[in-house]
């Protein structure tokens, strides 16, 4: 199994000095790629996930921010089947895609500052959906499985609590990381198949929500530029 994970967050902040409030805009971009071989058909599978999530926020007071983000994600699964014919080896491939979106208001508070380091906590409410993913309960082992189906769609909401660590390089530049692996998440999603209600699933996750295409890494890095 070969796995390559690359997550980058690009953020640009614009600050205005009106009424001691600072308005900032930013965002994140993430990419995740995996490839592995199976001992059954299909023999080879490759997945690629990409997400982008711009943000708009206001620093109401020192250390306290409010804002919202809106994100879009895409995940592609490529399946490869190898078979033998009288004329030799025959390889077939096909793709399945999952897309997702989210609108997420949030509040953020700096809970600890030590020199150039600041630890902030972000609480958010997400309104989200996806297309191409369908849950299935396995009676054999009692596990919840996920099928890829272009006729499936979902809508729901989530509650999330996540820490962020900032490093102030200068008065104008800060680096930060979103520590998704320490987050707490609750979500409730209603799935539909061919426009008919299929199921509703509520989950509680500690760490990254693995069913959310927008979360493509457990650790995200970024930069803040103050103008």
The confidence band for 208, taking pLDDT boundaries of 50, 70 and 90, is low
The confidence band for 147, taking pLDDT boundaries of 50, 70 and 90, is confident
Q: Which residues contact 204 (CB under 8 A, 6 or more apart)?
A: 184, 185, 186
**8 Å CB contact between 51 and 73:** yes
According to the model, what pLDDT value does residue 219 have?
Answer: 59
Question: What are 146's two structure tokens?
Answer: 């996920």
Flag whether pLDDT at 3 surpasses 50.
no
According to the model, what pLDDT value does residue 174 have?
Answer: 75
The pLDDT of 150-162, averaged and rounded, is: 92
Strands (E), 115-214: 117-137, 144-168, 173-179, 184-193, 196-206
CA–CA–CA angle 104, 106, 110 (5° rounding): 150
Question: What are 72's two structure tokens?
Answer: 């879009």
Instruction: Provide the 3-class DSSP secondary structure of residue 182.
Output: helix
Q: 2-225 belongs to which CATH class?
A: mainly beta
Token pair 């089947």: residue? 81
As a whole number of angstroms, the distance between CA 66 and CA 137 comes to 39
Kindly report, residue by residue over 77-130, the tens digit of the pLDDT.
888 877 666 776 667 777 889 899 999 999 999 999 988 999 999 999 999 999
Q: Which residues contact 94 (CB under 8 A, 6 or more apart)?
A: 78, 79
Q: Which residues contact 42 (CB under 8 A, 6 or more apart)?
A: 79, 80, 81
The confidence band for 9, taking pLDDT boundaries of 50, 70 and 90, is very low
Instruction: Provide the 3-class DSSP secondary structure of residue 188.
Output: strand
Least trusted range by pLDDT, from 9-23, 104-118, 151-165: 9-23
Total residues belonging to the chain = 227
Model-wide pTM > 0.75: no
Phi, psi of 181, deg, nearest 5: -70, -10
The pLDDT of 120-145, averaged and rounded, is: 84
Flag whether pLDDT at 176 surpasses 60.
yes
According to the model, what pLDDT value does residue 193 have?
Answer: 93
According to the model, what pLDDT value does residue 40 have?
Answer: 64
- Determine how β-strand 88-114 pairs with β-strand 64-85: antiparallel
């Amino acid at each position: 199994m070969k796995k390559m994970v690359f997550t980058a967050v690009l953020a640009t902040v614009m600050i205005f000095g009106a009424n001691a409030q600072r308005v900032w805009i930013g965002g994140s971009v993430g990419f995740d790629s995996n490839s592995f071989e199976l001992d059954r058909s299909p023999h080879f599978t490759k997945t690629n996930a990409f997400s982008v999530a711009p943000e708009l926020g206001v620093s109401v007071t020192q250390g306290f921010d409010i804002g919202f983000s809106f994100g879009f994600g895409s995940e592609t699964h490529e399946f490869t089947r190898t078979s033998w014919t009288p004329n030799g080896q025959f390889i077939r491939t096909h793709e399945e895609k999952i897309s997702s979106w989210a609108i997420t208001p949030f509040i953020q508070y700096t809970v600890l500052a030590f020199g150039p380091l600041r630890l902030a906590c972000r609480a958010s409410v997400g309104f989200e959906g996806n297309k191409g993913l369908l849950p299935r309960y396995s009676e054999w082992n009692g596990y919840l499985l996920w099928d890829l189906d272009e006729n499936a769609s979902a809508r729901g909401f989530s509650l999330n609590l996540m820490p962020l660590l900032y490093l102030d390089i200068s008065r104008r530049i800060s680096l930060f990381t979103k520590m998704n692996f320490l987050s707490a998440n609750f979500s409730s999603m209603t799935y539909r198949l061919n426009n008919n209600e299929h199921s509703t699933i509520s989950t509680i996750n500690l760490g990254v929500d693995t069913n959310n295409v927008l979360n493509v890494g457990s650790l995200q890095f970024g930069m803040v530029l103050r103008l």
